[in-house]
Amino acid sequence: MRFELTTDQQDFAASLDALLAASDSVGAARSWAEGDHAAGLKLWDRLAEQGLTMLATEASPVEVCVAFEALGRHAVPGPWVESAAYLPLALGAETEGVATVAAPESSYALDADVADQAYVIDGAGLRTAVVGAAAVSVDRTRHLFEVTAGDAVETPGDTAAAYDLAVLATAAQLLGAGERVLADAVTYVKQRKQFGREIGSYQAIKHKLADVRIALDFARPLVYGAALDPTPRAVSAAKVACADAAYLASRTGLQVHGAIGYTQEFDLSVWITKIRALVTAWGTPAAHRARILDTLRSA
């Protein structure tokens, strides 16, 4: 069986990559981290014009995964999972402007300071959010705010499907971020020399990078397989695999870059910290492994 994107989906992915590559998304992420949202919001508007905020309701989960993999690969800041994956399905309509929601079992909402609407998940429904104090994230581009439940909001959409799509979108972001770290690491080891040789010529480094390549290649079919049939088990399996693969990519990328990889000024830090935050976003690996186990027990 050949499992690959259609020509239209490949063209969509290519157009997003071209747009983001020309948009200085890393610069926007760095500005966002410092509290300057202008460049990030301008990029948000450009991506919304490309239809990213409509994908959850107007396209299939496959297109959602294509888009979020690109967002992860280019470190695009903002509450994209919340605004473009969860809320459109939960509310039954595309969100207007920037919106955010606190994930289940979390009392923090992402980027509530720039959101036009903020929500809290209350059982199977939504409530408006009362935004409180800011909290610190390992990813400086992720501004978290304490939120408490306000008034009830009618949710004509499918909140269970919305949660699964948010998890899947987060998995796709992790996949894209892991791919970017691997690509940058491969480029670096071909340039950096030690003892008169490119460090990428050493078997130990080749094996580490190959392990990352294998992990990402095994995670990708789980993401797009879950996009075709988004059952709770498939979605959680994709999230676990992508979290593990992206985290391996970040650790390996840091190791092969050496001391420079630890510096905040080096762009690698943007993806390393993002991966660390996304690993636990919309459900920890332990929670999703428990979810998989529950589905197996009840099968």
Provide the pLDDT for residue 36. Answer: 97
**Residue 12 to residues 55, 238, 263, Cα–Cα distance (Å):** 12, 22, 34
Q: Are 125 and 163 in contact (CB under 8 A)?
A: no
Provide the pLDDT for residue 24. Answer: 94
Provide the pLDDT for residue 246. Answer: 98
State the 10-residue block means of pLDDT for the chain, 299 residues long. 81 95 96 96 96 94 97 97 96 90 92 94 85 94 94 86 97 98 92 71 85 97 95 97 98 88 85 96 96 90
Between CA 298 and CA 29 the distance in angstroms is 43
Provide the pLDDT for residue 1. Answer: 46
Q: Specify the amino acid at residue 103.
A: A
CATH number of the domain located at residue range(s) 160-298 in this protein: 1.20.140.10
Element (H or E) spanning 102, and its range?
Answer: strand 99-102
Provide the pLDDT for residue 201. Answer: 61
Burial of 144 (0-12, 13-18, 19+ CB in 10 A): buried
> Model pTM?
0.95
Provide the pLDDT for residue 90. Answer: 92
Between CA 45 and CA 147 the distance in angstroms is 26
Provide the pLDDT for residue 154. Answer: 82
Provide the pLDDT for residue 122. Answer: 83
- Three-state DSSP state, 146: strand
Provide the pLDDT for residue 200. Answer: 63
Q: Position of tokens 């969509």?
A: 12
Phi then psi for residue 39, to 5 deg, are -65, -40
